[in-house]
């Protein structure tokens, strides 16, 4: 028997069928927890936030209009929740590790698995080898405006496609491309500037 699609499960959820809720939860729980963990770097916090994300999503299923896929909608809710939780932790003085820090600590295929680390499609970090370079990258990334920083995070850090990033951010595909191009160029300029400042 073929596995039910997300759309079919959503219809069943709206009819109040608990098995459909369980099926969607099982299908996406690991991905959501993983995303939360990459932002928060605390497994208990990640599990708690993932549970909140699913509660929020299931409470508002009736608002889902199907203009994007369920996974894109879920991902958007999850990312927004991660940003909000990071801001909350920072305000409470508990810091909260940025998604960039989490990406740098990942070892799923090596520390240079991300396009941002490899320097592909823009060559931002061709020679990033030292802890000093990591610090400089954090500073350079912090200098970007929010729209450019979010595109870098989605495409170069979370490794989503341009199309997925456009759907999540609700902007045209060309906007994603232009913001990312400008952001990568600005990162290169900032990295050079910061390195020179250290050398002076």
Dump pLDDT digits (tens) for 132-177.
677 777 788 888 888 898 888 788 877 788 998 898 888 999 999 9
Which burial class, exposed, middle or buried, applies to 197 when counting CB atoms under 10 A from its CB (0-12, 13-18, 19+)? exposed
CA dist 62 and 10 (Å) reads 9
The greatest distance separating any two alpha carbons of the chain, rounded to the nearest whole angstrom, comes to 68
For the chain, domains (ranges, CATH) are 1-97 (1.10.1740.10), 98-200 (1.10.10.10)
DSSP state of 3: P
Please give the C-alpha separations between residue 5 and each of 26, 35, 53, 167, in angstroms, as whole numbers. Answer: 13, 22, 21, 20
Give helix 18-40 / helix 70-91 axis angle, nearest 10°.
40
Q: Nearest 5°: phi and psi at 158?
A: -80, -15
Q: Nearest 5°: phi and psi at 59?
A: -70, -25
Residue 119 contacts by C-beta under 8 Å, 6 or more apart in sequence?
125, 126, 128
Per-residue pLDDT, 119: 40
Per-residue pLDDT, 132: 67
Per-residue pLDDT, 127: 43
Q: What is the pLDDT of residues 79-90, one digit of tens each?
A: 889 889 888 888
Q: How many CB atoms lie within 10 A of CB 1?
A: 3
pTM of the model: 0.61
- Long-range Cβ pairs for the range 112-120 (8 Å, 24+): 114/156, 114/157, 114/159, 115/155, 115/156, 115/159, 116/152, 116/156, 116/157
Instruction: Render each residue's pLDDT in the chain as its tens digit; 200 residues.
Output: 568 899 899 999 989 898 999 999 999 998 898 888 877 878 888 999 999 999 999 998 888 877 788 888 898 899 889 889 888 888 877 654 444 444 444 433 333 344 454 443 333 443 444 566 777 777 888 888 888 988 887 888 777 889 988 988 889 999 999 999 999 999 889 888 888 887 76
Per-residue pLDDT, 180: 94
| CA R_g for the chain | 19
CA dist 188 and 110 (Å) reads 22
């Amino acid at each position: 028997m073929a596995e039910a699609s997300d759309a079919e499960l959503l219809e069943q959820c709206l009819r109040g069928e608990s098995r459909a809720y369980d099926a969607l939860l099982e299908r996406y729980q690991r991905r959501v927890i993983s995303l939360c963990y990459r932002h928060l770097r605390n497994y208990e916090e990640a599990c708690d936030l993932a549970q909140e994300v699913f509660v929020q999503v299931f409470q508002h299923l009736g608002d889902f209009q199907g203009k994007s896929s369920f996974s894109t909608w879920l991902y958007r809710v999850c990312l927004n929740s991660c940003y909000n939780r990071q801001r909350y932790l920072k305000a409470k003085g508990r810091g909260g590790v940025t998604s960039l820090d989490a990406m740098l600590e990942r070892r799923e295929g090596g520390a240079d698995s991300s396009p941002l680390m490899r320097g592909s499609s823009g060559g931002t970090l061709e020679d990033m080898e030292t802890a000093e370079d990591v610090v400089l990258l954090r500073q350079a990334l912090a200098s970007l405006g929010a729209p450019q920083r979010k595109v870098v995070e989605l495409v170069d850090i979370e490794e989503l496609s341009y199309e997925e990033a456009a759907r999540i951010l609700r902007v045209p595909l060309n906007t994603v491309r232009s913001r990312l191009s400008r952001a990568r160029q600005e990162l290169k300029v900032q990295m050079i500037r910061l390195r020179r400042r250290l050398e002076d």
